[in-house]
Amino acid sequence: MELYDYIGGETTIRNIVNTFYPKVLANPLLAPLFPEDMEPLMEKQFQFLTQFFGGPSLYTERHGNPMMRARHMPFPITRVRAEAWLSCMQSTLEEVVPSPEMRAVILNRLKGPAYFFVNQEEEA
């Protein structure tokens, strides 16, 4: 059984995405990077997280090879921003995923990519 099924599949991933982005937009370090219309991004993130956690390959079917680090290159991602992103995700998981063990597994899987996407030194 995939992590996707353990955490509750489509319903849980939708809840994560819908809870996460309002937190991102409320974070002064992250908000300036994001577009006004969040709907397309939220749909892509739903598709991406679905396949990232072992569900159907929705993102790749629609958008091709994820190449997520490359897709993040246009945006100045510092270590502090990666930590802010993970912190928004942690509080999202606390609201959406009841099991602390499951929350830890999910957050740990996202930590690698988040730090990997850092593409810029901290701003002075």
Q: Catalog residues that contact ligand HEM under the rule CB under 6 A.
A: 30, 33-35, 41, 44-45, 48, 52, 63, 68, 71-72, 75, 77, 81-82, 85, 110, 113-114, 117
**Residue pair 7/53 in contact by the 8 Å Cβ criterion:** yes
User: Which residue, 8 or 29, is less far from ligand HEM as judged by CB?
Assistant: 29
User: Which residue, 77 or 96, is less far from ligand HEM as judged by CB?
Assistant: 77
User: Which residue, 4 or 52, is less far from ligand HEM as judged by CB?
Assistant: 52
d(CA 21, CA 101): 23
User: In angstroms, what is the minimal distance from the CB of 47 to ligand HEM?
Assistant: 7
User: Which residue, 8 or 113, is less far from ligand HEM as judged by CB?
Assistant: 113
User: In angstroms, what is the minimal distance from the CB of 30 to ligand HEM?
Assistant: 6
Q: How many Cβ atoms from other residues are within 10 Å of residue 84's Cβ?
A: 19
User: In angstroms, what is the minimal distance from the CB of 41 to ligand HEM?
Assistant: 5
Nearest to 5 by CA among 56, 66, 48: 56
Side-chain-side CA neighbours of 104 within 13 Å: the count stands at 3
Rg (CA), the chain: 14
**Residue pair 49/16 in contact by the 8 Å Cβ criterion:** yes
User: In angstroms, what is the minimal distance from the CB of 24 to ligand HEM?
Assistant: 8
